[in-house]
Amino acid sequence: MNAAEQNRLDEAQSDFILTRTRRHFFQDSGLGLGSIALANLLGSGKTHAAQAAQNANRPDFAPKAKNVIFLFMAGGPSQFELLSDKPKLRELNGQVAPDSFFPKEKNFAFIGKGAKLLGSQRAFKRHGQCGKAISELLPHTARIADDLCFLDGMTTDVFNHGPAKLFMNTGFQVPGRPSMGSWVTYGLGSDSQDLPGFVVLQSGPRGPRAGNALWSSGFLPTSYQGVPFRSSGDPILNLNSPLGFDATSQKDFFKLVGELNRKRLESTGDPEIATRIAAGEMAYRMQTSAPELMDIKSEPKAVLERYGAQPGANSYANNCLLARRMVERGVRFIQLYHTDWDDHGNPNENLGAPLEKRCLQIDRANAALITDLKHRGLLENTIVIWGGEFGRTPMGEVRKSLVGRDHHIDAFSMWVAGGGFKAGLVHGKTDELGFSITEGKVHVHDLQATILHQLGFDHEKLTFRFQGRDYRLTDIEGHVVNEIIT
């Protein structure tokens, strides 16, 4: 064994002895770790949500925002059909892409040398005082152009869907890290008494690639993981009591299970048992709060029409309306996943009618959400993010005579609104073919760092020690983009 290995062994043994000595000290003093955790959780009659908010990390400075809504378009929407107008690309449509697009160190998912440039067939017009060029596919987004901060210089590191989604949501391309929503609720706690601090809503024909790893709490306590809600049927599976299980039986069940969990917590000091107790209490309260939240029939007809929402439907429009209702009820982080934005040229995933359908599903609701939050005085404290895991290439990809676009990580578009982000700003530029960023580059880690900054945190200080290392959302990179915030 060399000296370095011996030092690591000595450190591990010291950590073990110290941990064991502390645990036995508390137990021998009649102050088991379980007692302390339980007292913190349930003391003074406080609910778990209130206690979590009290015990949350203190922000490093005064926050500009306190809530986040992330509108995630799973699959990578094409900026060339939506937010990036490139007349030169249309002019050169059909010509072979330059060899400089394909250096040895550069990989695309499905295309290579010989791919032809593909100009968009969509009409663009400039909108608002900001003069942002927006596609005919997004007429409602165009109306609120001056409420949005457009990020046209986005870039990421990962070009396959599942890993790229993880990278955008957790800061790392491999499962196991906490999601952004988990970091935010870990940092700020939750203002909601009767709902989870981090809620996930999904729409589209299937779930997003990478699944629940996208809203996992990773190595953070499981109380910070995202809770999927359904916009039709029971809001949460298995939330309601089974048939024949009346209120008295349920109360007796919760009492017995709670007592057993408390005994186990006393003997082991395992914080996950405290989480289990809190989850049971939250589930009991949500039997009332969740159905009330999800019942949008109480909304005025004009509001439902503005969003395009229909009570009982499973739709993106319903989920946008629910996101506003959740912000009003103190939910800290709401993530909407809308799928099928993978425009390669498959019959059901291309730049023609399928794209038009997807835009109809999201455009009206996005604009309604921003307008609704603004009118209710909620937008200034709520960050709204729109985008996918990456963008699309200016080169076409042909599949069975249908032309689409491949994955592109070097340059794509997103937008943010509210929460101290500059409204009516167009930040970032790409070259005349939309292949590379020429100005205002914003890496995924930069966006994550800036979001945390607006919530009051230095992204380098919001950390959690796991397996001997201090982890953070931005991994080992990222800087705050001061140009896009007030």
Total number of domains constituting the chain: 1
**Residue 308 in domain:** yes
204 — pLDDT class (breaks 50, 70, 90): confident
pLDDT in tens, 301-330: 999 999 999 998 989 999 999 999 999 999
pLDDT score, position 376? 98
The answer to whether 296 and 311 are in contact (CB under 8 A) is yes
pTM equals: 0.84
pLDDT score, position 179? 98
448 — pLDDT class (breaks 50, 70, 90): very high
Task: For residues 99 and 395, give the distance between their C-alpha atoms in angstroms, rounded to a whole number.
Answer: 12
**Residue 482 in domain:** no
Across 468-472, average pLDDT: 96
231 — pLDDT class (breaks 50, 70, 90): low
Please enumerate in sequence order all residues whose Cβ is within 8 A of that of 321, keeping only pairs 6 or more positions apart, or say none. Answer: 296, 299, 303, 304, 307, 309, 365, 368, 369, 372
pLDDT score, position 368? 98
Task: For residues 29 and 299, give the distance between their C-alpha atoms in angstroms, rounded to a whole number.
Answer: 55
**Least confident span in 17-21, 214-218, 327-331, 452-456:** 17-21
461 — pLDDT class (breaks 50, 70, 90): very high
Exposed / middle / buried, residue 369 (Cβ in 10 Å: 0-12, 13-18, 19+)? buried
pLDDT in tens, 97-133: 999 999 988 889 999 999 999 999 999 999 999 999 9
Q: Which residues pair with 332 in a beta bridge?
A: none
pLDDT in tens, 57-71: 689 999 999 999 999
Phi, psi torsion values for 73, nearest 5 degrees: -95, 90
How high does pLDDT run on average in the chain?
86
- Whether residue 236 has pLDDT greater than 60: yes
Phi, psi torsion values for 349, nearest 5 degrees: -140, 80
Across 169-182, average pLDDT: 98
**Residue 322 in domain:** yes
Task: Please give the residue range of the domain that contains residue 452.
Answer: 63-238+298-465
293 — pLDDT class (breaks 50, 70, 90): confident
pLDDT in tens, 240-270: 666 666 667 666 776 777 778 888 878 887 7
**Residue 261 in domain:** no
Task: For residues 180 and 172, give the distance between their C-alpha atoms in angstroms, rounded to a whole number.
Answer: 11
- Whether residue 93 has pLDDT greater than 90: yes
CA distances, 325 to each of 69, 296, 305 (Å) = 11, 9, 16
**Residue 364 in domain:** yes
Question: In this structure, what token pair is assigned to residue 303?
Answer: 């509001």
Q: Please count the other Cβ atoms lying within 10 Å of the Cβ belonging to residue 183.
A: 32
14 — pLDDT class (breaks 50, 70, 90): very low
What is the longest distance spanned by two Cα atoms in the chain? 79
**Residue 252 in domain:** no
**Residue 158 in domain:** yes
CATH of the domain at 361: 3.40.720
Query: How many residues comprise the chain?
Result: 486
Phi, psi torsion values for 149, nearest 5 degrees: -115, 110
**Residue 264 in domain:** no
pLDDT score, position 248? 73
pLDDT in tens, 380-408: 999 999 999 999 999 999 988 889 999 99
